Structure formats: C-alpha cells, structure tokens
Structure 1
Amino acid sequence: MGIIQNIKKNIIAKAMDKRKAANPFNPEYSDNFQLPPDAAEDQNNSHYFSVHDLKSRQSLYMRLALRGGSAPTEVWFVYRDGDGTVYMNERDHISKGESIPAAVECVEGGKKLRFTYTGPVKKGRLTDKGYVPDGNSGDTMVELDGNFSGLTDTFEFSRHMATEPVARALSREKFTKEFRAALSEHHQVHYEQSGTVTGSLKLGNREIVFDKLPAFRDHSYGKRDWNYFDRYVWLVGLLENGDFIHNSLIRYPAVTEIQAGFYKTGGKTLCVKNCTSMDELPVTGGVPEKFSYTVAYEDGSVRRVSCSLDFTVPFVFGGGTYFVNEGVSDFTVDGIKGRGITEFAFNADSSRWTRK
C-alpha cells in the first residue's frame, strides 16, 4: 500500500469509527422497522430466513422483501426435503394490491421472530445436472409457520464489521464528490444472526415438524437498486459444532471489491481481515459446483473453506437487469462439516463482472 492510499485509509477509518460511535445499533428498532407510506420504489425492507438440517439434508429458505411506491413485493419460498425433492413458489414478484403469501412478525427484538408462508408451490427434483422443475406437476399447497430464536448477537455490518478491511477497500478508489455521494446514497442497514427454528410445514397431505433446527436470518433495509450491483458473492454456513461463518464479496461501480464477514465461535465474534477475492473464484454466471476459499481474521487465525453445491434456484430482478443464483451447499471449514447458502449474483451486463 502506497503512502497516499495509507493516508486515505486512515482518514476513512477515523470517519467510520466516529459514525459507529455516534450511531449504535438498535435491534429492537430495526426488527420492527417498516417502510414509510411515501417510500420510493427503490426502498427495500427485506427479511430472509434459512434453515438447514445437517443430518437429513433438509433445507428451507424464505424471503420477504417489501418495496416502496408501486414496486412489487419480492417473495421466495424454497424447501428441499430429505429425498431431494424441491418445492418452490412459482411467482416471486407480487404486485401492489395483491395478497402477499408471506409475513414476518417481530416477537422480541434481536431475539425472536415469526415467519409464515401460505400458498401454492411447484415441485422439482435433483438430478446429476442440478435442480430440474417438474413441468407435469400441479400446485402443492403449503402452510409454513416458523419461529426463529437467536443464539448469537445480531451482527450489523456498518457498525460491527472491522473498520480496516472496509477502509482499505474504499481507499483504493478515487475520493471524488461523486464517489462520496454514491456511498451515502446506497448505504443500507444489513444484519445477520444465527439461531434455531421451531415450527411446522404443511406440504399437501404431509406435515413436517421443525424442532430447533440450525438456522440464520438476514434483515436489510434502505435503498436497493439491483442494477447498481456489478455482482456479489454471499457465503453463509451453519457448522455441526454450532459455529457460524459468513463472507460477502461485493462489487459496485464505485468500489472494486468490498470484503466483509465474520466467524462466530464459542461466544466470540472474529471479523474478517481479508479473504480470497471474488475474481479468484469461478466466474460462470451461476453457482460453482465446487470451490474453495481462505479467510484471515483479525485475531491472526486463518480458516480454509470448501463448498460443494447441492442445488441452486435462479431469481431475476430489476426487469431482467440482475440475476441472483441461490445455491444450497455443503460446507467444510478446516474439517468441520456444515450446510448453508452460496449465493452468486450477477448483473446482466457481463462486462461489469470483472475489474482489475
């Protein structure tokens, strides 16, 4: 790092630390956040719940993203049973005025939330070529009632992430008026938490009971312009020993690559110092079947992570300008097994995927 960049990094770090001290995170407020009635279409309030049974290989995730103005609500429901059958909702954009099949309720801020989905889903299957929708199957009615209980503290990235790696990434860019404006305009609250889910899933004539299955949740609100992203990688694993690993790699027009993340173990939170770049991972427009990466943490520890894809579901946003590939993968972190999400998302303009 050159002298000028180091000076810029120190200035940015001081400003970030000052902002963190002046704006402590309030999980009670954030878990109860609602979009104001006059919110613009690019305003987003998104809850995401992800449940994974490491033994039976069941996985479930649900996303509810409310948008301002006349923008449609974004809803995901995906369930993979122990036999490899996948059920998912066919309509993931719900127009204003239509009934929304999903709901999220804050029971106790920062600790307990309830999430539900009631509606039709389509069935598919896993093959050696991945997930294949069953075009001959009709709708299956689903009733999901899940109760999330947090086991760790919430981790809000703009407050709890280590300052140095973010300041380092920002210091590489030209510190112009437009650059500062872009950072401010696209800032959003984003936090995650691991825990357990208890509840039930009525799937046609079957009822599946969840009893304290490993889970995590994600909540974000603020501006969300899908076309502003060049691409990103979101990797979240729940490990068999109770540890929780997260890594995010994000590329915007204003920033070449932001690396963020944490590792929660034994009541401690280790923040990412640096990790494998997104340009060193396979760039295919989808989720790689197998890949590995390395993460260094602030305490000096290093962890090596391998992921093996089970299945992936594609989602399209921004009127076809952005594609999110939601993968469910098996994780191995220094020999410890786990399961979780490998989400690889790309702008429709492939020229924006790589930048040196």
Structure 2
Amino acid sequence: MFWFIFFTLFIGFVLWLLLRYDPGKTAGVYSRPTPFYPIKYALMKFVIARRQKKALASQQVEKSDGELVTGEFGGNKRNIEEMERKTKLPNDKPRAGDCVFFNASNANGWWLTLGMAQRPNDVINLFFTLKVPGLGTFVNEELPHTSNVKAIPSDSEYLTESGFRVKCIEPMRKWQISFEGNLVPAQASQPDITKTGPSTTQDPAIKPITSHFELEWTNYGEYFDFDTEISPEIIARSLALEPWSKQLFETLKATHQTHYEHFGKLSGIFGIDEFQTPEKVEMMSMRDHTITSYRNWSQIRRYIIITYHLDDGTCISTTLVSMPETVFSQLQFGYVVTPSLEKIPVDSIDIKLANFGENKKFPKKFNYSFRAGSKTYDVRVEVRDLVRFKMGLDEACYVEENMCEFWVNDVKGYGFTEVEYRIEPY
C-alpha cells in the first residue's frame, strides 16, 4: 500500500513538473515544444482529420452570409455559388471583410497583383502592382499614400471610385477584372515603415499615368478549400506547439476565416499611357477569396506567402504566419497542384521564421524545402523586383510584394514571395 501511494504521488509530481515546464520562446516570440508535444500533436491531428472527413461526407448545403463568416476549423462544406458571390457584411462587425486577391506572372517578365478587401462603410483595402517588361513597374495611384480607398456600393461587384472592377462571371470557372484610371511608377511607393498610419509625403515629380486593362481569369483545375483539404499534420504541428487554454480555442473559433485558393490563367490587353499590348498577354495566376467576420492586420506580426507556377505545369503555394498574441506563433500550410491537376496538401515546410527575415530584412535570394505527400520539393528563389506599401484599416503593418523566379527540383518557375511585417509592436 505504501509503495502504491508513493508511486502515485511520484507520478503526480512528475506530471506537475512537466505541466509547469516552460521551454521559453525562440527570439522571444515563437513557441517551442514541451514534453507533451507528441500527445498534443496526435490528438489535434485526429480531431482535425475527423472534422474534415465528416465535412466531406456531408452533402453541400447553402450557407447564409452569417454562416460563411463564422465557423470552426475543418468543419464547413459550402455551396460554391454561395462561396463565390459577394457577401453582405454584418453591420455589427466593423472588422469584417470580403476579400479577393489575384496574382499572375509569366516567363516573359510580366508580374501582376491585385488585392481588394471589401470592408464596412464603403471602404476597400486596395493594392495593385504591375511589372511590364521593358516599360517598368507601376502601382495604383493611391498606394504611395494609403491602401484604404473609397468603394462604390455593389451587391455583386468589387468596385472602387478610382476605376477598379472585379466580378465573378461563373463560380470557380471565370472572373473578370478591369481598370480605367491612373497608375503611378512604383518608385512613388516609399512608405515610412517606422510609423503607422497613411503616408503624408508626396513627390511632386511623380505624375499619374492614364491606364486601362480588360482581363479574364479562367480556372486551372479545382479550388483548394482550406477548411476541408488542408493537411491535418501541418495544422496539428502548429497547434501542438502553443500553450493550450480555453481562451486559445475560443479565439481560434472567433477568428475563423472562410478561405480558398484557385490557380488559373489570366489573359487580356493592357494600355499604359501610349503603350498598348499588340495582343493578349497570358499569365499563370492564383486567386484567393477570404470571407471573415474579423480581419485585423494589426494582429499579424509577420507572414511569408510564397506562390508560384513551374514550366511543367506544377503550381505551388506555401505560407507561414505569426500571430503570437492571437493564436499561432508560427502557423504553416500550403498545397501543390500537379501537372495532372491533382491537389496535394503540404505536410511540412522547412522554414523557421526566427531564422528567416526576423530582422525585417528579407533576403533577395534564399532556399527552402517542403514535403507534400511522399515527395520533397527543394526550392531556390531569387527576387527580381519588389513593391512596398502599408496595409490594413489602421495601416499598422507593411507588405513587400517580391516578384521572383523559382527553381524547384531543377524546374524553372515564376511567381511571388509576399512578406508582411507589423510596424509596432514588433
């Protein structure tokens, strides 16, 4: 009896020590594994996989706007027409957002990005960058000063008073993008990244350039739904690193976003001042759509989003996000679309944020690797150009849109490395 009591007390004491053990944080930010990490990882992997399996087994049902902006990770299966239409934002959610994004590039030296996040009170977070070979790099006229622009109210389109228009034509198949207005050279976008808020300085030598384009986006394979298709392994690993609490899981649910991505082809004509493309420009593209009841860029300490396509038809997206005060100190996710259009979720990414641009000086050349299914991808990246601008309703962070060339297992590719840093506190 004595030995049983002694053994029970000893085991209890050991568990108490393990629970109290704090391994500290790398760089004072990034959580490190505790002795309970393997158990937490196995549990979360099981829970996420089970939720995904249940969601995929259920029939697709229509979801209301309210249901699209709420939910839990891995648990929603939605009707594509509801997902693709513009969402009415709730009046009581000042940080709600319906956000569409496109990037595109090709081997001829074209790079394009367009982000339009519809926010309440007829505001759109807007950024547009365009690199034209032999001509230069351009941004929307407002971007050197602010990313918050006036929207034109619409139930079906994303519209700005400055001339941008985005509309879904056929769900998951076709979108239209058009613009008629002014662009400015990208060198005009030189924000003060030590201060939050809009930029007040203006270079009088920078003159607006009358521009226009008409573009059509068409799908390349099927969309990737992060609720139901993301790797349980990679999310479980990220969650298992964090200290668990009731508040953590409540925050995880409260900050849920409906998010999906879709590779495709973008084609159309461009006119920049007197320059006119003689024929349609064709680029490989990735678009995404995010619907959320709460998007606060100030909560994101930093992120790296690497999106690109290869000459053999492979398309790749890998992402790392750090939101240490909210949920994850280092979240990873991604996927691959093969030349046969098979979708494979990324299971691990060999990047540690603490060792990768932590000093806000992102490298112009770097290597990384990731694993998707049974295959490991070794990636070399070289930045060819970049545009920097502030982002979010509070403009308390900045984004660097890096236009890059890629080599993946010796296959050439093109795309973007988009990085974000919070200005303060960092």
Pick from 161, 167, 177 the counterpart of residue 236 of structure 2.
167
Q: What secondary structure is seen at the aligned counterpart in 1 of 2:130? A: strand
Establish whether residue 89 from structure 1 lines up as the match of residue 140 from structure 2: yes
Establish whether residue 180 from structure 1 lines up as the match of residue 249 from structure 2: yes
Residue 350 (structure 1) shift: 5.9
Check conservation: 1:151, 1:194, Cα contact below 8 A.
yes
Match of 2:258 in 1: 189
| Counterpart Cα distance in 2 of 1:124 and 1:5 | 46
Match of 1:275 in 2: 349
Residue 71 (structure 1) shift: 6.9
| Counterpart Cα distance in 1 of 2:150 and 2:319 | 30
Match of 1:241 in 2: 312
**Can you list the C-alpha shifts for 1:308-335, whole angstroms capped at 9, x where unaligned?**
1111111213434211111111111111
Which structure has greater strand proportion? 1
Between the aligned residues of both structures, percent identity stands at 20
Root-mean-square deviation (CA), in Å? 2.3
| Counterpart Cα distance in 2 of 1:90 and 1:284 | 30
| Counterpart Cα distance in 1 of 2:176 and 2:302 | 31
Establish whether residue 64 from structure 1 lines up as the match of residue 116 from structure 2: yes
**Residues 305-344 of structure 1: pairs in structure 2 closer than 5 A:** 305-318=379-392, 319-344=394-419
**Can you list the C-alpha shifts for 1:234-266, whole angstroms capped at 9, x where unaligned?**
000111111101100011122121110112112
**Residues 97-136 of structure 1: pairs in structure 2 closer than 5 A:** 99-124=161-186, 136=205
Check conservation: 1:287, 1:325, Cα contact below 8 A.
no
The number of residues matched between the two structures is: 342
Match of 2:328 in 1: 255
Check conservation: 2:220, 2:341, Cα contact below 8 A.
no
Match of 1:8 in 2: 40
Distance 1:268 1:114, change over 3 A: same
Check conservation: 1:124, 1:134, Cα contact below 8 A.
no
Which structure is larger by alpha-carbon Rg, 1 or 2?
A: 2
Establish whether residue 80 from structure 1 lines up as the match of residue 80 from structure 2: no
**Can you list the C-alpha shifts for 1:289-311, whole angstroms capped at 9, x where unaligned?**
11111112222x11111111111
Distance 1:328 1:163, change over 3 A: same
Match of 2:11 in 1: none
Residue 47 (structure 1) shift: 1.0
| Counterpart Cα distance in 1 of 2:380 and 2:203 | 30
| Counterpart Cα distance in 1 of 2:131 and 2:238 | 37
Distance 1:331 1:134, change over 3 A: farther
Q: What secondary structure is seen at the aligned counterpart in 1 of 2:280? A: strand
Residue 5 (structure 1) shift: 2.8
| Counterpart Cα distance in 1 of 2:203 and 2:310 | 31
**Can you list the C-alpha shifts for 1:271-291, whole angstroms capped at 9, x where unaligned?**
211112222323342542111
Distance 1:345 1:124, change over 3 A: closer
Residue 205 (structure 1) shift: 2.4
Which moved further from structure 2: 89-98 or 311-320? 89-98
Match of 1:215 in 2: 285
Task: Show structure 2 runs of 5+ residues with no match.
Answer: 1-32, 56-75, 153-159, 189-201
- 1:229 maps to a residue whose letter is I
Residue 137 (structure 1) shift: 4.0
Distance 1:155 1:8, change over 3 A: same
Structure number with greater CO (CA < 8 Å, separation at least 6) is: 2
Residue 230 (structure 1) shift: 1.5
Check conservation: 1:285, 1:345, Cα contact below 8 A.
no
Establish whether residue 225 from structure 1 lines up as the match of residue 302 from structure 2: no
Residue 39 (structure 1) shift: 5.6
